């Protein structure tokens, strides 16, 4: 029995290590890694947010944690599958078969973003709050990366990539960006809080709005009113 299992293991390893099947197994592993990463990231975040800021029974909160975790994990797995499959197809059937094109990753990301993160819920017609958070997270990182690329000496935009200008902008850009970001979010929270993403609104309500009210030492130091 052990000899048969060992032979099956050897045959399986031969297949997974065969370069001919590398692209297909890369899609499979991408889906697996997306699901695992989504679970690791979303579960603790959802657990803390639901338990601290959501009302309801423990069972209701647990169901929301599970739903958020499942959505995050499944969507990262789906996106990884669409992205890697599209890249594989473009590489095999593109203008130069067998060679990756310079914009393959862009078009693969475009398709994956539309199919996975760009759709509304068929039941409610709304965009998933989990998907909103993921897309906003990615967008913020893209903006920062493009900003760095724009001032990169010799490679960025001509007007700002001169070494002297690039150094000056790099020195002062972050304080300006940070202060304007916080100025904008505090103004929105004060006058247009309904437009903010729910988890951000809940966090800010806890810090800035709930800290305005207390009726004694207990609700000042230990617990909100």
Whether 16 and 9 have beta carbons less than 8 Å apart is answered as: no
Q: For 168-203, what is each residue's pLDDT tens digit? A: 888 888 899 889 999 999 999 999 999 998 888 988
Cβ partners under 8 Å of residue 171, min gap 6: none
- Taking the C-alpha atoms of residue 16 and residue 25, their distance in angstroms, rounded to an integer, is 7
Q: Can you tell me which residue has the tokens 């990366």?
A: 145
- Write down the pLDDT at residue 188: 95
- Highest mean pLDDT (candidates 11-15, 38-42, 94-98): 38-42
Q: Which of 44, 40, 105, 51 is nearest to 77 (CA)?
A: 40
Average pLDDT of the chain?
89
Would you say residue 1 has pLDDT above 80?
Answer: no
CA-based torsion, 31, 34, 37, 38: positive or negative: negative
Q: How confident is the model at residue 116 (pLDDT cuts 50, 70, 90)?
A: very high
Would you say residue 52 has pLDDT above 90?
Answer: no
Q: How confident is the model at residue 152 (pLDDT cuts 50, 70, 90)?
A: confident
Whether 39 and 72 have beta carbons less than 8 Å apart is answered as: yes
- Write down the pLDDT at residue 199: 80
**Residue extents of the structural domains in the chain:** 1-130
| Residue predicted with more confidence, 150 or 223 | 150
- Taking the C-alpha atoms of residue 65 and residue 68, their distance in angstroms, rounded to an integer, is 5
- Torsion angle defined by CA atoms of residues 110, 75, 181 and 171, in that order, rounded to the nearest 10 degrees: -70
- Write down the pLDDT at residue 210: 85
**C-alpha gyration radius of the chain:** 24
- Write down the pLDDT at residue 189: 95
Ranges 76-90, 103-117, 145-159, 192-206: which has the least confidence: 145-159
Distances (CA, A) of 209 to 186, 202, 212, 224: 11, 10, 6, 10
What is the secondary structure of 194-225 as a DSSP string? GGS-HHHHHHHIIIIIGGG--SSHIIIIIS--
Please report which helix (H) or strand (E) contains residue 159, including its range. none
Would you say residue 88 has pLDDT above 80?
Answer: yes
- Highest mean pLDDT (candidates 2-6, 113-117, 152-156, 163-167): 113-117
- The encoded tokens of residue 103 equal 């914009």
């Amino acid at each position: 029995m052990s000899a048969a299992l060992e032979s099956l293991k050897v045959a399986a390893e031969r297949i997974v290590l065969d370069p001919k099947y590398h692209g297909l197994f890369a899609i499979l592993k991408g889906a697996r890694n997306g699901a695992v990463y989504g679970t690791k990231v979303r579960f603790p975040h959802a657990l803390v947010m639901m338990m601290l800021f959501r009302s309801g029974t423990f069972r209701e909160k647990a169901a929301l944690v599970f739903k958020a975790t499942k959505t995050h994990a499944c969507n990262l797995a789906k996106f990884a599958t669409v992205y890697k499959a599209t890249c594989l197809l473009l590489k095999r059937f593109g203008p130069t078969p067998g060679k990756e094109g310079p914009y393959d990753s862009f078009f693969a990301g475009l398709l994956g973003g539309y199919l996975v993160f760009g759709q509304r819920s068929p039941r409610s017609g709304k965009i998933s709050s989990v998907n909103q958070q993921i897309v906003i997270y990615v967008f913020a990182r893209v903006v920062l990366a493009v900003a760095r690329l724009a001032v990169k000496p010799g490679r960025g935009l001509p007007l700002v990539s001169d070494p002297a200008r690039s150094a000056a902008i790099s020195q002062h850009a972050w304080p300006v960006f940070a202060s304007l970001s916080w100025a904008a979010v505090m103004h929105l929270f004060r006058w247009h809080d309904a437009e903010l993403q729910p988890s951000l609104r809940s966090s800010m309500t806890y810090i800035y709005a709930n800290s305005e009210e207390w009726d004694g030492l207990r609700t000042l130091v230990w617990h909100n009113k």
